[in-house]
Structure 1
Amino acid sequence: MAMNPPDSLKQTTLSHQQYRVPDYECEKPAAVHTAFHRILAELNKPSTNYELSFANRLYGDQSIAFLQKFLYCALKLYLTEVYGADIHNAPEEVRRLINLWVEVQTHGKIQDLLPKNSFDCLAQLLHVNALYFKGQWDVKFDKELTKVDRFYLTEDVCTNVQLMYRKGQYNIGTIEGCDVQVLEIPYRNNELSLFILLPRDCDPESLQQLEDGLSYDQLLNWSCILKPEEVEVVIPKFRVEKSVEVNAYLDLSPLTDPEKADLSSATTTEGVALTQLVHDTFIEIDEEGGEEAEAPICPGDRRPRQEPKAFLANHPFLYFVLHKGTQSLIALGKFARPE
């Protein structure tokens, strides 16, 4: 039995059965949008080495008339669907449906993205973006070695976390000009790596200075200065979720201010502006990964073994996940106050 979609959520689709969709030129010559498309296409390839789920969708009130080319290019370049929803008459129902869609897209990890009363019947455009990531280490951590221990918020204040332990070969180095260790922990097949930036001390100012001076180029440069060494690694086992309204961090007035916004390339409806852009990231770090290969037996090797370097992440640090093939940052965060 065929069922019609609810009036509160009518998908704006490109139906080949109703009419022939022209092959629009979304960007000519190819530039930044096409480059982002290549990155997203690479990241969305199926993999058993990690879980990476995106939920990216633009919701517009059903009174807004979107241009066909905009719908086509948003989907082609950014894998972003545009939905028409009855926001004006049923904002609460639309909110619940958005939350359910995000939950399904992230396999139940991200729930209740939009809290009650996060928007009202006057909303026009809602852009929701969510990401869930969990990788499989190239070599797993032994769960039996994970133990609850102290994590220092400052030199005098601490709390308890689960700390994972492993000794092995890792790329490690120190940032010149500041006393910060950098460690790379690769995921399976070296498609991605977790990088941890660890100040030597617990001083909150040291971490803040490091954070304030960050740039994409710096992070890439630091990831290239590391050298393989024997390392005793101690890092927290954690899961972090962070939800933000991007409006609070970036000046989006060219999109959110009805007097400034020019969305004529997206819609023929006048006076349309972006109401809200919400982003949520959920990342999990645990012991799971591949098995360690057996070390070769060299009975004649009598060279003295060097003591392994210590990497003890028992105080606040920064981290990022890098996709090697596209040089893209999947996640960038701070582990400072465990919950």
Structure 2
Amino acid sequence: MSADRRTVLALAGALLAGAAGCASTTDPDDTNGTNDEPSDDDPFDGYETPDFPQIEPTTDIDLETGLLAEQVRGNVDFALELLAQLRDGDPEANLFFSPYSVSVALAMTYAGARGETATEMADALRYELAGEDLHVAFGALEGEFERRNVDGEEVDSGYPGDEEDGDADEDALGFQLSSANATWADEGYPFDDEFLDLLEVYYEAGDHLVDFSGSPEEARQEINEWVEERTNDRIEDLLPEGSIDSLTRLVLTNAVYFLAAWEYDFDPADTEPEPFTSLDGSETDVELMHQREELPYAEIDGHQLVELPYANGDTSMVVVLPADGEFETFEESFDVDRLATMLEETSSPEVDLALPKFGIESTFSLVEVMQDLGMERSFTGDADFGGMTDGDTNDLYIAEIIHQSFLEVDEEGTEAAAATAVVINETAAPEPSERVEMTVDRPFLFYIRDRPTETPLFVGRVVNGETLQDD
């Protein structure tokens, strides 16, 4: 990991809220979300509700623990559904994305949706909470993440050369989970003040007035610069040429940046080239990192799961390695219930782990993906985003959803970044047990999660060793 990556730990931007909950067909104007009692044996239902800070101004809404648990479960469900949709587009490719970023950007959009448009969005995004409840939950999670984020905190890397007194050396990684939102509105267009105020209160989405009508290219460059600044320059040119034009009226953006050291780092001296078998059966030598630690681990029918904690104690990477020769069958059936079952079965043996160093960069248009998930009206002239506008004007639709992501995993930790832009146009249109081994030398799945809230921050799959590492 290069020195410049270790020194950039002070990005601007408020911490972003968690993603969506379970499917609901409730009207977004109805502030009474439905809730079933959580299952006693579901790990996604068992976490304690954090002591959320008060967000001003807001109504006095009591979010029950069970309601938030349903929200979290839906969050994981949406992440896995989105992974399945993106995988189907290119089954042989490695991919990586942030369901967190996608869900937040679309939650801001959902705040202005009405009628069938809102119902479809809630179903596709697995929202359980309705109306202001949903946005209160996003804002509450924002405050919880902000409380735990220690900007620029250094941790002892554990490498030879660290000070004997345990102080971190100058190259030690820190921890950062920063996220920011912004509203880019066409100057002069009659947006509803209550809609803009809601985005500012719950998402801290600063309102930027731009001239989409007269200078769309200048506005596009301004948005891209904002994204680059808030992702440590890892996400560049999020909005490509031609994505913004004179009919664009609103762009809602989210940018998230993550940098964390492992709690148990990998010694670079133990990293060595070993064969990785890709999904098509071909073998490629990749750099495999090695460590032996007591880690949360489960094995069911030959399918292995291990959880690698980061040094801040609240985030981790979960790696799922399907049984040899069964990746495609396992991936097809991998859902929130199966993940919950595997997490339930974890114990803490000494794990002899081999894991590739890897990096992935991905760019997606999510229009077709979200349509396949049932969000159809939003992209047509039948869209109802009347909650965004002041008066009788209701001629807006989603022209594009663009998502870009970056990931690098090495011996010291993980750096990840992602950004999402929603472009809205006016219509012209237990105790340690025996030692186990886990060698990740074939296709695998992974996700980075915030453990106290169970929010999946990033999700990915690795199936192609040839493109796994830079030469």
- Quick check: 1:183 aligned with 2:296? no
The amino acid across from 1:136 in the alignment is A
Distance in 1, matches of 2:399 and 2:232, equals 27
1:337 corresponds in structure 2 to: 464
Q: 2:243 aligns with which of 118, 125, 143?
A: 118
Query: Shift of residue 146 of structure 1?
Result: 1.5
Contact 1:128 1:277 in 2 (8 A): no
- Quick check: 1:91 aligned with 2:216? yes
| Deviation larger for 109-118 or 273-282 | 273-282
Percent identical among aligned pairs is: 27
Contact 1:124 1:274 in 2 (8 A): no
Distance in 2, matches of 1:130 and 1:56, equals 7
- Ranked by relative contact order (alpha carbons within 8 Å, sequence separation 6 or more), the top structure is 2
For 1:113-192, list aligned pairs within 5 A: 113-154=238-279, 156-175=281-300, 178-192=301-315
The structure where strand makes up a greater share of residues is: 1
Q: 1:104 aligns with which of 219, 229, 243?
A: 229
2:383 corresponds in structure 1 to: 260
Q: 1:36 aligns with which of 112, 117, 138?
A: 138
Contact 2:443 2:461 in 1 (8 A): yes
Q: 2:204 aligns with which of 70, 79, 87?
A: 79
Distance 1:53 1:93, change over 3 A: same
Q: Secondary structure at the match of 1:311?
A: strand
Distance 1:306 1:37, change over 3 A: closer
Distance 1:189 1:60, change over 3 A: closer
Contact 1:125 1:275 in 2 (8 A): no
2:369 corresponds in structure 1 to: 249
1:286 corresponds in structure 2 to: 410
Query: Shift of residue 309 of structure 1?
Result: 1.3
1:272 corresponds in structure 2 to: 396
The amino acid across from 2:308 in the alignment is I
| Total equivalences in the alignment | 297
1:233 corresponds in structure 2 to: 353
Contact 1:27 1:33 in 2 (8 A): no
Query: Shift of residue 272 of structure 1?
Result: 2.2
Contact 1:170 1:230 in 2 (8 A): yes
Query: Shift of residue 306 of structure 1?
Result: 8.2
TM-score, length of structure 1 as denominator length:
0.78
Distance 1:44 1:213, change over 3 A: farther
Structure with max Cα Rg: 1
Contact 1:172 1:229 in 2 (8 A): yes
Distance in 1, matches of 2:217 and 2:251, equals 13
Query: Shift of residue 155 of structure 1?
Result: 6.7
Query: Can you give the 5+ residue segments of structure 2 that lack an aligned partner in the other structure?
Result: 1-55, 64-132, 154-173, 414-431
Query: Shift of residue 161 of structure 1?
Result: 2.2
Query: Shift of residue 185 of structure 1?
Result: 0.8
| Deviation larger for 46-55 or 156-165 | 46-55
The amino acid across from 1:180 in the alignment is H
Query: Shift of residue 27 of structure 1?
Result: 8.3
Query: Can you give the 5+ residue segments of structure 1 that lack an aligned partner in the other structure?
Result: 1-22, 290-304
Distance 1:207 1:123, change over 3 A: farther
Contact 2:139 2:203 in 1 (8 A): yes
1:317 corresponds in structure 2 to: 444
The amino acid across from 2:197 in the alignment is Y
Distance in 1, matches of 2:190 and 2:442, equals 52
Distance in 1, matches of 2:459 and 2:58, equals 33
CA offset digits 1:68-103 (Å, max 9, x no partner):
222221122223334332122222222211111111
Distance in 1, matches of 2:202 and 2:134, equals 10
The amino acid across from 1:308 in the alignment is R
The amino acid across from 2:316 in the alignment is S
| Deviation larger for 254-263 or 327-336 | 254-263
The amino acid across from 1:32 in the alignment is L
Contact 1:173 1:183 in 2 (8 A): yes
